[in-house]
Structure 1
Amino acid sequence: MFPHRMVHRCAAVLAAALIVAPLSAGIASAAPRPVAAPAPVPSLELDRYLGTWYQLAAVPQFFNLVCARDTTATYALDPQGNVSVRNRCTTWSNGLNEITGTATVNDRATGAQLHVSFPGVPTQESLEGPTNYIVTALGADYSWALVTDPTRVSGFVLSRTPALDAAQWQQIGTAIDVVGQSRCVYLTSPTTGGLSQIAPLCTV
């Protein structure tokens, strides 16, 4: 589904975050344990989530460095009942870059955790697999969404429009804090009719 599997067919090799367990009395150190995955929203109405989203900010990934502006993701139901994915952006040479894939829902309780696959992309070719897309926050009117993955390596601010107001950005910033990420790791994504510069989200 979704913009974090955009364009270049290379996968980022990044370590999952770890935390150190509290020290017990008389013990000098303890083994690290994995941080729990970010919590999904309690309920995602898929029919409201379908359609086109603009990427307004993201944690940089190797596979979307080719994108200069106007990065979008369009989702629709396919004949099998899964979600078809079409990611597009304008490149630095003013061309169009596009990739298509499929998303399947892994979490029937909330509908907000999915596995996204892209034919021909190493490690992402299988239609079924572990969750790699979690909707962690949503505007009440589905005007914006915050998306990450179980390791918090990726992050995407999506919007139904090319621009958001100050109150919406404040809500998004708070959502990023809650999920355990830094706003400064997110870079804004230039969009026609929206932000024109690439800058850390914490400075905007």
Structure 2
Amino acid sequence: MATASAVAAPPGEPVAAPAPVPELDLDRYLGTWYQLAAVPQHFNLACARDTRATYALDPQGNISVYNRCTTWANTVNDITGTATINDRETGAQLHVSFPGVPTQDRLDGPTNYIVTALGPDYSWALVTDPSRISGFVLSREPALDAQQWNRIRAAIETAGQNTCSYLTSPTTGGRGDIAPLCST
């Protein structure tokens, strides 16, 4: 497990943001991703299962974001937004905005989405933010094998987060339970 010292800084000094992957191939990253685990956030508490994000290029050259899930009432909850790349060196630090969502409705803004780890074949991704408050395990498929989960747990710790903060996300064709990632 990650310890506090993994992200600790001297008193009064800011903690450095997690490192992005060295290079994000946007063409390979675009498409649909299943959320297989996440640090619970207010905006995803309505989601009971089958949470997905679909990324595509929009006409302005930004990334369109379409998030969708099935709610506890068995209805669809979805939202559309835009992502802009803030880091041209790696392409892995972005600002994601959603119109009408307080604090997230500006098209440009500070980084709030960092791809910190990727499977070598882009089969999975780990995403967090500069303060490590959020976290998402994304996969191209609704299920991962044990070796992939072990790599993801190690990536979470490398990013300075605790695997127990991540809860599995029920996905049709994958896990059906909600459990801390440290116990699975």
Q: TM-score, normalised by structure 2?
A: 0.95
Query: Where in structure 2 are the equivalents of 1:81-96 lying within 5 Å?
Result: 81-96=61-76
Task: Select the structure of larger CA radius of gyration.
Answer: 1
Residue 71 of structure 1: aligned partner = 51
Q: Is the 8 Å Cα contact of residues 9 and 15 (structure 2) preserved in structure 1?
A: no
**Separation in structure 1 between the aligned mates of residue 146 and residue 44 of structure 2, nearest angstrom:** 26
| C-alpha distance in 2 between matches for 1:176 and 1:38 | 10
Matching residue within 136, 142, 154 for 1:174: 154
For the pair 1:188 / 2:168, whether they are aligned, the reply is: yes
Give distance in 2, aligned partners of 1:182 and 1:20.
Answer: 17
CA deviation digits over 1:21-45, x for unaligned, max 9? Answer: 2xxxxxxxxx332210000000000
Q: Distance in 2 between matches of 1:113 and 1:63?
A: 21
Identity in percent: 76
Counterpart residue type for residue 58 of structure 1: A
Any conservation in 2 of the 1:52–1:72 contact (CA below 8 Å)?
yes
Moved over 2 A (4+): none
> Could you tell me which residue of structure 1 aligns to residue 8 of structure 2?
19
SS of 1:32 mapped into structure 2: coil
Runs (5+) with no aligned partner, structure 1? 1-17, 22-30
2:65 touches 2:80 (CA, 8 Å); kept in 1? yes
Report the AA paired with residue 181 of structure 1: Q
CA distances 1:92-113 after superposition (whole Å, capped 9, x unpaired)? 0100000000000000000000
Question: Residue type of the partner of 1:199?
Answer: A
In 2, the alpha carbon distance for the partners of 1:20 and 1:163 equals: 36
String of CA shifts for 1:34-75, please: whole Å, max 9, x gaps: 210000000000000000000000000011100000000000
Matched pairs, number = 179
Q: Aligned partners of 2:14, 2:37: CA distance in 1, in Å?
A: 26
Normalised TM-score (structure 1)? 0.86
Pairs within 5 Å for 1:47-196:
47-196=27-176
Q: Of residues 160, 178, 181 in structure 2, which corresponds to 1:198?
A: 178
Cα distance in 1 for residues equivalent to 2:92 and 2:9: 29
In structure 2, do the counterparts of structure 1 residues 145 and 20 end up closer, same or farther at CA, with 3 Å as the change threshold? closer
| Cα distance in 1 between the residues matched to 2:9 and 2:59 | 46
Deviation, 1:20, is 5.0
